Amino acid sequence: MRSTKTSAKPRVRANRSSLRLHGAIAQDLGVQILSGRYQPGDVLKREIDASVRLKVSRTPYREAVRMLAAKGLVESRPKIGTRVSPRSRWHLLDPDVLSWIFEFGPDDALLASLFELRKIVEPHAAALAATRRQQDDLRTMQRALEDMARHTLQVEAGRIADQEFHSALLRASGNPFLISLTSGVSAAITWTTIFKQRRGALSRDSLPDHARVYAAVAAGDAPAAHAAMARLIDLARGDTPQSQPSRKRAR
């Protein structure tokens, strides 16, 4: 029995190492695609050539490509190879994809589009939450506000609390399709906050804006909840500094 456990440990470590390796390769390729280094229609290097260049076996490279394909960034076809997909197929709200976008810095058009999406989704979710929220939802939102006040958005604990506030709001909407957007919306909020922090633009305290949303939801006032959330997003957009000139839109 002991020998079985001992032999299993190296395999577990090897599996974890492989996961980290193919994740790192996927990140490297993903950033190159999202930053425009590779354009839609471009064919990535062949598997053998890429594995030689990266000094890795073909397996992690192949797994990385599968990961990118699952996120809509590439597609592999026999006799053609791995080709970058049209931008319309990219899963831009995927948390990994969002993190790769903010690694090199999104252009202003993409930033504006991200806030535009939030303004379409979150105020309506807040209005629904005002009429459907349960006590557990309110407790979660209240706890998140307390943690935001305690830690501030300058540190990870405060950003996690911010995530939880918005996630709880989407859950409180009671709409399963809105709830399915939770991971993407949460990632968008986190990365825009980090983006602002990197550029020294995180000085304004957004806690009162969140508190107004909470108060309207707790009071069951749907119009006020909608207005408060729309105002919160407008202020967050106004706090966000310009990134860089918009690049030519990928085809």
Q: How far apart are CA 203 and CA 239, in angstroms?
A: 9
**What letter represents residue 155's amino acid?**
V
The predicted pLDDT at position 214 comes to 98
Query: Which residue has 């706890």 as its token pair?
Result: 143
Residue 55's pLDDT band (cuts 50, 70, 90): low
pTM here is 0.82
Count of CA atoms in the C-beta half-sphere (13 A) of 76: 13
Residue 43, beta-bridge partner list: 83
Residue 78 dihedral angles phi and psi, to the nearest 5°: -60, 140
- Please report the pLDDT score of residue 48 as a whole number: 53
Q: What is the mean pLDDT of residues 227-243?
A: 91
Spatial distance between the Cα atoms of 212 and 162, rounded to a whole number of angstroms = 14
Question: 206: which DSSP letter?
Answer: -
CA distance 234 to 52: 48
CA dist., res. 66 & res. 25, Å (int): 11
pLDDT of residue 80: 81
Predicted pLDDT of residue 51: 63
Average per-residue pLDDT for the chain: 86
Task: Please report the pLDDT score of residue 199 as a whole number.
Answer: 85
pLDDT at 243: 62
Confidence of residue 233 (pLDDT cuts 50, 70, 90): very high
Tell me the average pLDDT across 140-157: 96
Confidence band of 62 (pLDDT split at 50, 70, 90): confident
Return the percentage of the chain with pLDDT > 90, whole number: 67
